[in-house]
Amino acid sequence: MREITSSVVLAAIACLAVQSIFAQAPAYSDDEVKAQFLKAGTFRHAEFINGAYRRSFEMADCDTNRYARILREIVVEHTNETRRVIRSLGRYRTQQSLPFLYSYATNAQYGAYSLKSIFAIEGVTSNSVAAVHNYLFMSNQLSLAGIDERSDTCTDLLKRVCSDPSLVEYRPGVLDMATSFIQNVELMPNVLDGALCNVQDGFRFSKRRLSILRSAMQRVATELSEITVSDCEREGKIHCYTFQTNYLQNAINELVAYPEANLPD
């Protein structure tokens, strides 16, 4: 009996010793976590990429606050990783990342990704709505790059506030923002116009929509024709120009044939 008891005690001591060794094992440094995250970008197969990202998170002890801080530091050291970092921050949803994300919210290259991550962290708030407004109406050179991102951002916000009863207070302002965006800025109005028709009763056949579309038609035709593009973008520009002007003209023709005089305000 004594021999059995001694064996049990020795086994317990051995177990505790092993646990102590592992507990004292050095954790991965921030630099090692960064290296693993950067390594993920060298892979081409989705399974390897996702596996490398998971490993980098595990190396940060699955601590979301620490991991998000490390990712934000990566941008300072490797600016070419900005997009990947911004998108990752939305997945880990730490409040500490919000100032960083808001600093990119009006960036022509990263604004859409930043706003998507902001919505993932804090949802629709007065701050995030204001950030979308600033992003949509920022003045920057016309380019095919980023046109659809601004359109998608506005459409996403519109759908969020109109599908969630708890966000009803934001609807009037967001609806005005969306219609003003189509009328004065938007170069790809078809998706957002369709969304407005779906969320507003009576908007599809209204004098208000006809006026907005006419203003958009005149502006889109002029601005798309003035965009400077490289040879590799030219085909995309021509397709964009033709599709959008055709969409607007067909929508205008439908409303005029209503007939226009009978359209409600």
State residue 121's pLDDT score: 97
Mean pLDDT over 81-89 rounds to 95
If you search the block for the tokens 């973008």, which residue do you land on? 233
pLDDT of 169 higher than 50? yes
Q: Name the more confident of 178 and 147.
A: 178
State how far the alpha carbon of 56 is from the alpha carbons of 50, 97, 100, 133, 164, in Å.
10, 18, 21, 35, 35
**Nearest alpha-carbon partner for 200 in 145, 161, 233:** 161
Element (H, E) at 10: helix 2-24
Mean pLDDT over each residue of the chain, to the nearest integer: 86
Residue 106 CB contacts under 8 Å (≥ 6 apart), including other chains: 131, 134, 135, 138
* Residues near 83 by beta carbon (within 8 Å), at least 6 away in sequence: 109, 110, 113
Q: What is the CA radius of gyration of the chain?
A: 27
pLDDT confidence tier of residue 148, bands split at 50, 70 and 90: confident
185 — phi, psi (to 5°)? -135, -50
> Could you give the C-alpha distances from 37 to 18, 64, 101, 138, in angstroms and in order?
30, 14, 19, 32
Tokens 């919000």 correspond to 98
Would the pTM count as exceeding 0.75?
A: yes
Locate 14 and state its tokens: 């051995």
The pLDDT value recorded for residue 147 is 75
45 to 50, 57, 84, 143: CA distances (angstroms):
9, 19, 16, 31
